[in-house]
Copies of this chain bind each other. A is one copy, B any other.
Amino acid sequence: MAKDRKIDVVILGLLAHENLTGYDIKKQIDGAISFFWKGSFGSIYPALSDMEKQGLVKRKKADTTGGREKIIYQITKQGKDTLKAWLNDEKAANDLKYETLLKMYFGGTEDRSVTIRNIEIFEKQVKENLKILKLYKDNLEKVLNQEDHIHYYLTVTFGIETYEANLRWCNKAKKILKEK
């Protein structure tokens, strides 16, 4: 696995659950995962190639019936070991990059209405995300009997609790800025 390329473990994690094509992987990443990790075709396909060379994944079958090639990938024993090692590694980079907070921090040079407007834009984004996450949560609650689903559920509740805290902050911040 490439030294710092985390897309590899995302792919491995997904393939540990089921066999997938590169296209499928992209769709999954664009689902619940997108709230805390992103990935584009331009990173997924090259990663799959590399990982195949390294023996972490293999082509299950090139399904060519009826047209465009379709490569279904499967995780190998070595791939499972790599995933296991990563899950057991204490290091975990948790990075927040919030341009809204940057605008908050540097907002003192502008009129307060500008900062309030930026909070409102953020609030709208958060509310939309929250709505989607709550749908995921509702669906997952029905299938908590599977071990995988409990883990998905916990991830989703993390997002919900965080976003709800963000909304509470939005209200407080707007109030402070409108006072005084």
Contacting residues of chain A (61-99) with chain B, CB-CB under 8 angstroms? 80, 83-84, 86-88, 90-99
Nearest-neighbor residue (CB-CB) of A32 within chain B = B105
Cross-chain contact of A9 among B102, B108, B154, B168 (Cβ < 8 A): B102
Interface pair B110/A87, CB less than 8 Å apart: yes
Cross-chain contact of A94 among B83, B92, B125, B155 (Cβ < 8 A): B125
Interface pair A35/B104, CB less than 8 Å apart: no
| A128 touches B (CB below 8 Å) | no
How many chain copies? 2
Chain A contact surface mostly: helix
Chain B hits for A164, CB < 8 A = 165
Interface pair B87/A106, CB less than 8 Å apart: yes
| A44 touches B (CB below 8 Å) | no
Chain A interface (Cβ < 8 Å from any Cβ of B): 6, 9-10, 12-14, 16-17, 32-33, 35-38, 80, 83-84, 86-88, 90-110, 114-115, 118, 121-122, 125, 146-152, 154-155, 157-158, 161-162, 164-166, 168-169, 172-173, 176-177
